[in-house]
Structure 1
Amino acid sequence: MAIVYKCRHCGQEIGKLDQQMLDTSMLGLDQLSSADKRDMISYETNGDVQIKSICESCEESLGNHPQYHELDYFIQ
């Protein structure tokens, strides 16, 4: 089982942790609301846990173009 962080905007893999046991409190996932958990965390058929986040490039783009926050997807 792996914990895979992917950018919610461009789909780039940000990082991957190979773990046999998942401690959500160590990752801070227990601090998320139920709605945020549903939006950010998915469980893959191979047992991996995928967490949607934002990569540095997309974060920079949002910082430079705040109007992009209004869009569901700003990467075409």
Structure 2
Amino acid sequence: MPIVYKCRHCGQEIGRLEQQVVDESMLGLDQLSAEDKRDMISYEANGDVRIKAICENCEASLGSHPHYHELDYFIQ
């Protein structure tokens, strides 16, 4: 069951872990609130676990343009 990290803004795959068993505490997911888990983690039909994160490029754009935080998506 791969764990796939994708950027929530541009959709770029940030990383992938090939794990048979997911330990939430090893990934730090146990630190998230229930609402954040619903927003950030999805379970795909093919068995993948997809985690929404932010890639370095989008993080830099957000740092340079703080008003982008107001938008759900700033990349068109």
Task: Map Cα deviations across residues 24-46 of structure 1 (whole Å, 9 max, x no partner).
Answer: 10000011000000000000011
- Length-normalised TM-score, structure 2: 0.98
Superposition deviation, residue 15 in structure 1: 0.0
Q: Distance in 1 between matches of 2:31 and 2:64?
A: 29
Q: Percent identity?
A: 80
Amino acid across the alignment from 2:50: Q
Unaligned runs of 5+ in 2: none
| RMSD value, Cα | 0.4
Give the Cα–Cα distance (whole angstroms) in 1 for the partners of residues 44 and 25 of structure 2.
Answer: 20
Q: How many residues align?
A: 76
The alpha carbon displacement at 1:71 in A equals 1.0
What residue number does 2:9 align with? 9
Separation in 2 of the partners of 1:32 and 1:4?
A: 17
TM, length-normalised to structure 1 = 0.98
User: Structure 1, unaligned stretches of length 5 or more?
Assistant: none
Matches within 5 A, 1:31-42: 31-42=31-42
